[in-house]
Amino acid sequence: MAGQRDVLVLYDERMLAHRPDIEDRFLPGRLDRRVREILSGLEVKWSYPEHPGRITVVRELLEREPVRGVRFETGAAATREQLGRVHTTAYLEDIYAMRGQSAWLDVDTTAMSAGSVDAAEVAAGTAIAAVEAVVEGRAQCSFALVRPPGHHAEPVRARGFCLFNNVSVAAAHAQAKLGCRRVLIVDWDAHHGNGTQEIFWADPDVLFFDIHRGAPFYPGSGGLEETGGGLGDGTTINVPVPGGAGDVAYVRAFREILVPAADWFKPDLVLVSAGFDSHRLDLALNLSYEGFSALAGIMQEISDRHCPGRLALVLEGGYHTDALAGGVRAVLEVLAGATPTEPMECGLAEVEQAIAFHRDAFTRD
């Protein structure tokens, strides 16, 4: 252990009310027909992958196997003013008008049920609460265990299971109300955070670093040459990697690209869009629990160097529930003070063991 730290996990049962059921009838009808046409072409029966069990399974693991130094608080609902810092008035009015109904918000299968608007307000507000806790000094770091996720949501459009862009709402709140000027957002979800990139594309006071499986993997954006525009030219950093990329590649990208960029930017708040669909069991990439713990260690080093005690993580994706829960727990252990293990290339440790096991088998006595 490298010394105990105080970690606050924010969790709110109101987020369980977001539960789209594809057997339901959805508004609007024309979008319903289109989505069903897409789904009917699938060989296996499709169910909505972003379900309440994603966060209950994490909560249950942390109750069964607690991490010393981690405590829980409930979240809060975001206000229209808070959401309006990153989403347009017209978009918010459209979403609010669907409160209490089942609707398809986008043909890429972003859906909502009767409780979804309330749940999404709580997800965004809980990300804000996580930032307030670290800026106000109530915790050394925080983890907002939220859903629906946020990083695909654009200023005018819900996408990829996301309604409101939680991490962006939290960053904008920190700038508007908490006296933070420069915010670093790091996105290690398997998918590119297209919404976050769009929101802060021209903002020189938000440095956005995103490592993800590159196009044509969903959502297809996040190319190397996408580096921001206008006043924010240079403050967007994308590292697209091929399917199967793993711990060693990620740690190298963090050390060789993110760390120098953070030293140049000098953030006074560090946020992480922490998705766990980059774990190997989620089948897009090849990260392990050791990989996530190494990334958490680097994030802690960055915030310790530039803005001690101001590190907040916000959950994004992760659809294999065991990998999601195990990944969150591995990260929390490091945030709470455990020393991260330096990950090796997948299989190398086993090969080393096998070498030792077979070493003398074929030598002549």
| Contact predicate 10/129, CB 8 Å | yes
Q: Is residue 189 within the footprint of Zn ion (CB under 5 A)?
A: yes
> Before 148, cis peptide (omega within 30)?
yes
Q: Based on the residue annotation, tell me whether 152 is a catalytic residue of this protein.
A: yes
| Contact predicate 59/13, CB 8 Å | no
User: Where on the phi/psi map is residue 180: left (φ > 0), alpha (ψ -120 to 50), or beta?
Assistant: beta
Hey, which residues does 144 pair with through a beta bridge?
10, 314
Distances (CA, A) of 106 to 11, 74, 112: 27, 30, 10
CB-facing half-sphere around the CA of 189: CA atoms within 13 A? 29
Three-class SS state of 275: coil
User: CB of 89: closest distance to Zn ion in angstroms?
Assistant: 28
Nearer to Zn ion, 82 or 197 (CB): 197
Q: Is residue 191 within the footprint of Zn ion (CB under 5 A)?
A: yes
Helix (H) or strand (E) holding 209: strand 206-213
Residues 338-357, one symbol each (x = binds Zn ion by CB under 5 A, - = not), give --------------------
Active-site position among 152, 212, 306, 320: 152
Residues 313-332, one symbol each (x = binds Zn ion by CB under 5 A, - = not), give ----x---------------
Q: Is residue 277 within the footprint of Zn ion (CB under 5 A)?
A: yes
Q: Is residue 150 within the footprint of Zn ion (CB under 5 A)?
A: no
C-alpha 271/C-alpha 273 separation (Å) is: 7
User: CB of 198: closest distance to Zn ion in angstroms?
Assistant: 16
Nearer to Zn ion, 98 or 283 (CB): 283
Q: Is residue 275 within the footprint of Zn ion (CB under 5 A)?
A: yes
Nearer to Zn ion, 191 or 320 (CB): 191
User: CB of 281: closest distance to Zn ion in angstroms?
Assistant: 14
Q: How many chain residues are in contact with Zn ion, going by CB under 5 A?
A: 6
Q: Is residue 147 within the footprint of Zn ion (CB under 5 A)?
A: no
Structure tokens belonging to residue 213: 């499986």
Q: Token match 């969150």: residue?
A: 328
Quick count: other Cβ atoms within 10 Å of Cβ 136?
9
Q: Is residue 50 within the footprint of Zn ion (CB under 5 A)?
A: no
User: CB of 313: closest distance to Zn ion in angstroms?
Assistant: 15
Q: Is residue 210 within the footprint of Zn ion (CB under 5 A)?
A: no
User: CB of 191: closest distance to Zn ion in angstroms?
Assistant: 4
Query: Which residues contact Zn ion (rule: CB under 5 A)?
Result: 189-191, 275, 277, 317
Q: Which residues are annotated as catalytic? A: 152
